[in-house]
Amino acid sequence: MKKIRLGVNIDHVATVRNARGEKYPSPLRAAILAEKCGADSITIHLREDRRHINDSDLNSINSRLKIPLNLEIAATKEMLKIALKHKPPFVCIVPEKRKEITTEGGLNLNFKKIFLKKIIYKLKKNKSRISLFIEPNQSDIKKAKLLNADCIEIHTGKFCTLVNENKNFNKELDKINKAVAFGNRIGLEVHAGHGLTYKSAKILSKTKGIKEFNIGHFLIGESIFVGLPSSIKQFKKIIK
Ligand code: PXP
């Protein structure tokens, strides 16, 4: 059986750096260390407000990585231009609201449909693998297929919150399981991410058909206590 890939999101290394306006801790250093410790890809989200990762991080990380860079972007003209210029191997299109603390839900695939189709077409032609970050429901998965995405990333935020709060997560897990099965059935590669901890990743790793997990906030937070190599190794062990 093919192993599940671990994408390590290093946005919050940049959050800590930016909190003091210094040059450290360096997201590039974190990306190189994560690569050395077994990350299968590195994820960065270049937000419109550059609140964590900035253009210079994108430049340095993209030119130094040997493993694929997964660039998360909103569906805007500015981000399309940047992604076309840097040609990251993977691009994940995400919704973005300026005031949100983090990506609050999946993409609204009824909105800017024509523009989304154009972005996907242009980025695929430019040799980037395209993923759409969506909620676990059949209707959005069908739309992602019609838009010609290569992959979908299922937003696991609701499920993870229920796990964190020790609440009943079965309904949410069932939605994710059905979404993963449906996505695979119609020929999409299925990923999962947002809010994952050791506990929620362990539960979701039992879902057949998820090819990639993208994990950031908890993994980087855990590194404060155990170090980045150990938190990556622990996640690799859990999701294998
Ligand atoms: N996947 C996507 C598409 C995201 O936008 C994020 C958050 O930036 C993540 C995964 C990682 O989420 P977290 O930082 O909560 O692990």
Domains of the chain, with CATH numbers?
5-239 (3.20.20.70)
Instruction: Output the CA 10–ligand 1 centroid distance in Å.
Output: 10
CA 93 to centroid of ligand 1, rounded, Å: 12
Q: What pLDDT score does 105 carry? A: 79
pLDDT of residue 1: 56
CA atoms of 112 and 108, how far apart (whole Å): 9
Output the tens digit of pLDDT for each of the chain's 240 residues.
568 999 999 999 999 999 999 999 999 999 999 999 999 999 999 999 999 999 999 999 999 999 999 999 999 999 999 999 999 999 999 997 766 777 777 898 988 889 999 999 999 999 999 999 999 999 999 999 999 999 999 999 999 999 999 999 999 999 999 999 999 999 999 999 999 999 999 999 999 999 999 999 999 999 999 999 999 999 999 998
* 3-class secondary structure per residue, 91-115: EEECCCCCCCCCCCCCCCCCCCHHH
Active site residue 217: no
Residue of minimum CA distance from atom 1 in ligand 1: 193
Q: How far is the CA of 52 from the centre of ligand 1 (A)?
A: 13
Tokens 């949410």 identify what position?
Answer: 172
Counting from 1 in the atom list of ligand 1, the atom nearest the Cα of 215 is: 16
CA of 21 to the centre of ligand 1 (A): 23
CA distance 58 to 219: 20
**From start to end of 150-232, where are the E strands?**
151-155, 189-193, 210-215
DSSP class of 209: T
| Separation CA 94–CA 73 (nearest Å) | 6
Catalytic residue among 12, 35, 72, 172: 72
Report the interhelical angle of 11-20 vs 27-36 (nearest 10°).
Answer: 150
Structure tokens at 102: 């983090």
pTM: 0.96
Active site residue 52: no
pLDDT, one tens digit per residue, over 6-43 is 999 999 999 999 999 999 999 999 999 999 999 999 99
| Per-residue pLDDT, 102 | 72
- Asked if 53 contacts 90 with a C-beta cutoff of 8 angstroms, the reply is no
The active-site residue out of 96, 194, 212, 222 is 194
Which residues contact ligand 1 via a Cβ below 6 A?
A: 9, 11, 45, 72, 92, 94, 102-103, 133, 153, 193-196, 214-218
Residue 39: its pLDDT value, please? Answer: 98
Contact 133, 153 (CB under 8 A): yes
What's residue 2's pLDDT?
66
Q: Quote the pLDDT of residue 99.
A: 66
Q: Is 72 a catalytic residue?
A: yes
Q: Which of 12, 35, 45, 52 is catalytic?
A: 45
Pocket test for ligand 1, best of 41, 43, 155 (most atoms within 8 A of CB): 43
Rounded Cα distance between 54 and 13, Å, is: 12
Q: How much is the pLDDT for 113?
A: 87
Give the list of residues 6+ apart from residue 29 with CB closer than 8 angstroms, or none. Answer: none
Q: Kindly state the DSSP code that residue 119 receives in the 8-state scheme.
A: H
